[in-house]
């Protein structure tokens, strides 16, 4: 139990013990002297002496503890955080030695060891980067080739979840709902058509042709289904000559780790990097959850610890009223931008499908989640998703005394936010996603591997932000109490 306490709190308890021990020893000494006096002496002088000593002794202990906390405990925490950054997140930043100047040769020695180890890592990283660039070029060629072919290709695992889709498939899926990896095919197409085709494919042991329909049965596609030599199958949809309009070079999106279907577990027992996350951000007409409205919504999906490039939400939202000029100065969204944009109910329903079965992640989540939950009835959906806040994740990794603003986090984790994207919904969502990806290995390095462990740890920092992992049965968040904190959690 004691080992789970933070270093600074343990040191504080140590000095409390010193103060209490000193007072106890003084009390015992005064009592011994009084009890052995030849004549019975009045107790008042002894009590006065003890009170004065206890007061001065406690003051001395507090003063020494403050010095120790500022010059030893905090630098040790900062040094540990710097080493974890280099060890787990690939951030090649110098270990800060100035803050740890009273720790003797510890900081320079740690910096020397870290530099020596990271030099080998850098050489390996360069080789990996070269190979990655080659694979990117080959993927781009494959994407261009698939774009020219008027068919949509979807790779599906044994759980009927999407493992890969090309640009044509993205267009087909998006006509029904936002395209996303790991989504069940039944989220888009009629389950009866799919089940019949699967049964026929297994029975014949060969490729089958069939008609595929969406849930409303208004969209019909000629499709083929073929089993893979490994588990799963390929679904090919004929999109006809009209496919030429899709040549926007949408990327080939895939994650072959999804072919290996893992056993379903309770979310609290699931490894953090095995979860699907949706990092999102909103821009609004103001900072009140209760009174203001969303004007822009951006979101990025993170799967298996990696950002899924090509799966984003980036939309203006019509708030149904003029945008205050003071708000436009911050996010640059004007009334002209939102003219003709969907209202929040429509945008929210699309986003809800995009975030299905995912953990929502935001920086200063109470504000953004509060806006979604306030309008849940208009959207006709339930925002009961698990929630992670990168402010609290940062506090769990770096301690509560550090700056946890999005800008500070990005600087600490070597993440670049293009100036033209800062304070835009998609820009801040992308930054939040990158922060999350960098924080996951740091959390794992601290032994916080499973989602439940992370939630328990962030709840210890509840004074920073409200815990949002509660059922929707609660009343909406009060806009007078929730906003974007101005210091430790400023977004």
Going by their DSSP bridges, the two strands 306-316 and 359-362 should be labelled as unpaired
Residue 295: its H or E element: strand 294-303
- Worst-scoring range by mean pLDDT, 15-19, 89-93, 222-226, 305-309? 89-93
d(CA 161, CA 324): 44
Average the pLDDT over 53-62 and give the result.
76
Q: Report how far apart, in Å, the C-alpha atoms of 227 and of each of 126, 204, 222, 360 are.
A: 38, 11, 17, 34
Most trustworthy range by pLDDT among 1-10, 22-31, 192-201: 192-201
Same fold, 149-257 and 264-459: no
User: Which pair of tokens denotes residue 176?
Assistant: 């029904």
Output the pLDDT for position 28. 74
Q: Report how far apart, in Å, the C-alpha atoms of 93 and of each of 96, 114, 432 are.
A: 9, 10, 20
Task: Give the percent of the chain with pLDDT over 70.
Answer: 72
The CATH T-level fold of domain 264-459 is Nucleotidyltransferase; domain 5 (3.30.420)
- Kindly state the DSSP code that residue 254 receives in the 8-state scheme: E
Has residue 286 got a pLDDT over 50? Answer: yes
Domains of the chain by residue range: 2-115, 149-257, 264-459
Contact 152, 169 (CB under 8 A): yes
Q: Which residues contact 30 (CB under 8 A, 6 or more apart)?
A: 46, 49, 50
Asked whether the whole model's pTM tops 0.75, one would answer no
Has residue 351 got a pLDDT over 90? Answer: yes
Secondary structure (3-state) at 245: helix
Output the pLDDT for position 253. 86
Q: What is the pLDDT of residues 63-76, one digit of tens each?
A: 777 877 777 777 77
Q: In 304-392, which ranges are E strands?
A: 306-316, 359-362, 387-389
Secondary structure (3-state) at 481: coil
User: Which pair of tokens denotes residue 319?
Assistant: 């708030």
- Worst-scoring range by mean pLDDT, 295-309, 432-446, 465-479? 465-479
- Helix intervals (H) in 164-267: 167-174, 191-204
Q: Which CATH architecture has domain 149-257?
A: 2-Layer Sandwich (3.30)
User: Which pair of tokens denotes residue 394?
Assistant: 């940062």
Q: What is the pLDDT of residues 151-184, one digit of tens each?
A: 788 999 989 999 999 888 988 999 999 999 999 9
User: Which pair of tokens denotes residue 350?
Assistant: 């699309």
Has residue 110 got a pLDDT over 80? Answer: no
Output the pLDDT for position 385. 94
Average the pLDDT over 375-395 and give the result.
94
Task: Give the percent of the chain with pLDDT over 90.
Answer: 42
Write out the DSSP string of 207-234: -EEEEEEBTTS--EEEEEEEE-SSSSEE
Of 145 and 80, more confident: 80
Q: What is the pLDDT of residues 415-426, one digit of tens each?
A: 988 888 888 999
Average the pLDDT over 13-34 and give the result.
74
Contact 155, 162 (CB under 8 A): yes
pLDDT band at 474 (very low <50, low <70, confident <90, very high): very low
Q: What is the pLDDT of residues 196-255, one digit of tens each?
A: 999 999 998 889 999 999 988 889 999 999 998 878 899 999 886 544 444 455 667 888
The edge-to-edge listing of strands for the beta sheet with 306-316 is 306-316, 294-303, 276-284, 359-362, 387-389
Q: Report how far apart, in Å, the C-alpha atoms of 436 and of each of 196, 306, 329, 369 are.
A: 41, 10, 28, 17
């Amino acid at each position: 139990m004691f080992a789970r306490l933070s270093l600074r709190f343990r040191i504080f308890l140590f000095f409390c013990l010193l103060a209490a021990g000193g007072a106890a020893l003084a009390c015992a000494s005064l009592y011994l002297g009084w009890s052995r006096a030849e004549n019975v002496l009045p107790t008042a002088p002894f009590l006065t002496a003890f009170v004065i000593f206890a007061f001065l002794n406690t003051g001395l202990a507090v003063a020494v503890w403050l010095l120790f906390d500022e010059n030893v405990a905090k630098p040790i925490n900062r040094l540990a955080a710097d080493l974890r950054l280099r060890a787990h997140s690939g951030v090649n930043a110098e270990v800060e030695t100035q803050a740890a100047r009273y720790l003797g040769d510890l900081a320079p020695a740690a910096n020397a060891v870290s530099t020596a180890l990271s030099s080998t890592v850098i050489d390996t990283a360069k080789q990996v980067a070269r190979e990655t660039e080659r694979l990117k070029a080959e993927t781009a060629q494959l994407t261009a080739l698939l774009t020219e072919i008027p068919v949509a290709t979807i790779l599906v695992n044994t759980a009927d979840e999407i493992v890969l889709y090309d640009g044509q498939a993205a267009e087909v899926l998006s006509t029904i709902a936002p395209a996303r990896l790991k989504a069940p095919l039944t989220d888009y197409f009629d389950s009866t058509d799919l089940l019949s085709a699967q049964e026929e494919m297994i029975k014949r042991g060969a490729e089958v042709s069939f008609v595929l329909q969406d849930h409303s049965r208004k969209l019909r596609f000629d499709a083929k289904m073929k089993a893979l030599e490994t588990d799963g199958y390929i679904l090919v949809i004929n999109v006809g000559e009209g496919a030429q309009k899709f040549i926007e070079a949408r990327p080939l999106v895939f994650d072959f780790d999804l072919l290996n279907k893992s056993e379903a577990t309770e979310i609290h027992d699931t490894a953090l990097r095995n979860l699907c996350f949706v990092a999102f951000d909103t821009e609004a007409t103001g900072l009140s959850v209760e009174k203001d409205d969303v004007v822009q919504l951006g979101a990025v999906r993170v799967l298996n610890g990696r950002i899924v490039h090509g799966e984003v939400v980036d939309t203006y939202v019509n708030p149904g009223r003029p945008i205050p000029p003071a708000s436009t100065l911050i996010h640059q969204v004007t009334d002209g931008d939102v003219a003709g944009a969907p209202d929040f109910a429509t945008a929210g329903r699309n986003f809800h499908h995009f975030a299905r079965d995912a953990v929502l992640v935001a920086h200063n989540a109470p504000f953004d989640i509060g806006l979604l939950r306030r309008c849940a009835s208009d959207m006709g959906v339930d925002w009961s998703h698990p929630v992670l806040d990168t402010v609290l994740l940062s506090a769990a990794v770096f301690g509560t005394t550090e700056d946890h603003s999005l800008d500070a986090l990005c600087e600490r984790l070597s993440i670049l936010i293009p100036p033209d994207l800062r304070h835009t919904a998609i820009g801040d969502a992308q930054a939040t996603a990158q922060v999350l990806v960098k924080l996951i290995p740091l959390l794992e390095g601290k032994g916080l591997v499973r989602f439940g462990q992370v939630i328990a740890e962030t709840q210890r920092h509840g004074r920073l932000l409200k815990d949002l992992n509660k059922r929707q049965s609660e009343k909406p968040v009060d806009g007078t109490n929730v906003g974007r904190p101005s210091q430790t959690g400023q977004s």
